[in-house]
Amino acid sequence: MRVLHLGFEDPRMPGAGGGSVRTHEINRRLAAKGFRVTVLTTRYPGWQERMEDGVHYVPIGIGEGRNRLTRLLAYVALLPLEVRKRRSSAELVVEDFFAPFSTMAAPLWTQRPTIGVVQWLHARDKARQYKLPLHWIERLGVRKHRRLISVSQGIGDRLMDMNPNLHVDVIGNGVDPGIWNTQPHLGKDVLFLGRLEFGHKGLDLLLEAWAHACPRVEGNLLIAGTGPDDERLRTSIREAGLSDRVQMLGWLSGDKKFQALSDARLLVVPSRHETFGLVAIDALAAGTPVIAFDIPCLKEIVPPGTGWIVEAFDVQALGDEIARRYPQAGLEQVAEQGRKFAAGYNWDALAEMQAQAYGSALAHLNKSQTRRQPASHVERS
């Protein structure tokens, strides 16, 4: 199958989120099966068109894409033109949902069978942040799709609420196989790993909770990642008087990321919203228990016995949970349960499920398109 994937973020871009990781892990496995996959992404400093693991990456935009706004605007403006140039060689178009409005309603303009992959569905939160009706765009776009892939059941349910006529396949994210090479052990420090963004990732909530917990915790808080709120975070740490109890690690990938996850005593996920929570399942695979807020998608991947779920956005409760679980006896058993649970998130199996979803979507969408065409046109075809 020839697939044109509207992927938005390049996995090589510093600060790229878990969505780009999923895109690449699935696509490289599809390429190994014989799929021909081209991914259109934004530009960023150091971008390059390339073949990587059998996947063709084509960054589109204007200039170097040095900041988030110019990357977004250039991508939105140029994407329909780039799709038009390439659609004759594509059997299926795949639209990744992305911030801040989720979807560009791709089925309206691709003129090819189109399926969406939903790893981001938070336009209402962005609407509140920017005082713009972004959630209206999201709802309209979801209503223009007929087939979607959701990375969690919670997001799948929300999509069906927006468009009851949808067919939604729930296909989660997988664990990086390299994590299984780490050896679980009880570390000393508490870890946050992810994009440095206050609103989405809850970094303000994390700092407040850590200020409440750290007098009762031996280790420090380690924060790994990059993102738009890097400087704001550093300032907030200083102003909170936490500079001697918080360490910034910067962007980690590959073995360094795996080691950081394995070395941590606890991973904290203070997000206000997630579509999946890839870092949580990675931590469980590394043998590190997870503490997270009680939000739908995280509850799916932090079941009882692998970590602890705290009332959403209650920073005092989060701080108390960190302090309570840090010295708890039996963390090794929690780590063992987490690794057993995470073993079910296998990229090879997930890629096979996605290949089946693509095949089913292509057959269904082509059949629907044929039914809508005039009879005379069908006969000529």
In this structure, what token pair is assigned to residue 323?
A: 């302090």
**Position 129 confidence tier, pLDDT thresholds 50, 70, 90:** confident
Name residue 56's beta-bridge partners: 38, 51
3-state secondary structure 275-331: CCCHHHHHHHHCCCCEEEECCHHHHHHCCCCCEEEECCCCHHHHHHHHHHHCCCCCH
**Position 381 confidence tier, pLDDT thresholds 50, 70, 90:** very low
**Model pLDDT, residue 244:** 97
Q: What are 175-213's pLDDT values in tens digits?
A: 988 899 998 889 999 999 999 999 889 999 999 999 999
Place of tokens 């997630």: 274
- Distance of alpha carbon 280 from its chain centroid, rounded? 11
**Model pLDDT, residue 5:** 98
3-state DSSP call for residue 247?
Answer: strand
The whole-number average pLDDT for the span 130-154 is: 96
CA-CA distance, 337 to 327, in Å (whole number)?
18
The pLDDT mean for the chain works out to 93
**Model pLDDT, residue 316:** 98
**Model pLDDT, residue 373:** 54
**Model pLDDT, residue 177:** 87
341-373: b (≥16 Cβ within 10 Å) or e: bbeebebeebbbbbbebbeebbeebeeeeeeee
Q: How many CB atoms lie within 10 A of CB 171?
A: 22
**Model pLDDT, residue 274:** 87
**Model pLDDT, residue 375:** 41
CA-CA distance, 197 to 1, in Å (whole number)?
37
Q: Flag whether pLDDT at 273 surpasses 60.
A: yes
3-state DSSP call for residue 90?
Answer: coil
Work out the burial of residue 48: count CB atoms within 10 Å of its CB; fewer than 13 is exposed, 13-18 middle, 19 or more buried. Answer: exposed
Run of H or E including 24: helix 18-32
Report the side by side order of strands in the sheet with 147-150. Answer: 50-52, 55-60, 36-42, 2-8, 92-96, 114-118, 147-150, 167-170
**Model pLDDT, residue 297:** 87
* Nearest by Cα to 69 from 79, 57, 77: 77
- Radius of gyration over every alpha carbon of the chain, rounded to an integer in angstroms: 21
In this structure, what token pair is assigned to residue 63?
A: 């200039």
Percent with pLDDT over 70 in the chain: 97
3-state secondary structure 318-378: HHHHHHHHCCCCCHHHHHHHHHHHHCCCCHHHHHHHHHHHHHHHHHHHHHHHHHHCCHHHH
CA-CA distance, 236 to 161, in Å (whole number)?
38
Q: What are phi and psi of 273, to 5 degrees?
A: -155, 145
Q: What are 283-307's pLDDT values in tens digits?
A: 999 999 999 999 988 989 999 999 9
Q: Is the separation of the CB atoms in 139 and 103 below 8 Å?
A: no
The whole-number average pLDDT for the span 56-84 is: 95
Domains of the chain and any CATH numbers: 2-174+347-380 (3.40.50.2000), 177-342 (3.40.50.2000)
The whole-number average pLDDT for the span 95-109 is: 96
**The whole model's pTM is what?**
0.83
Q: What are 342-379's pLDDT values in tens digits?
A: 999 999 999 999 999 999 999 999 887 666 554 433 33
Q: Is the separation of the CB atoms in 92 and 113 below 8 Å?
A: yes
The whole-number average pLDDT for the span 251-269 is: 95
CA-CA distance, 117 to 169, in Å (whole number)?
9
CA-CA distance, 125 to 65, in Å (whole number)?
25
In this structure, what token pair is assigned to residue 247?
A: 């360490």
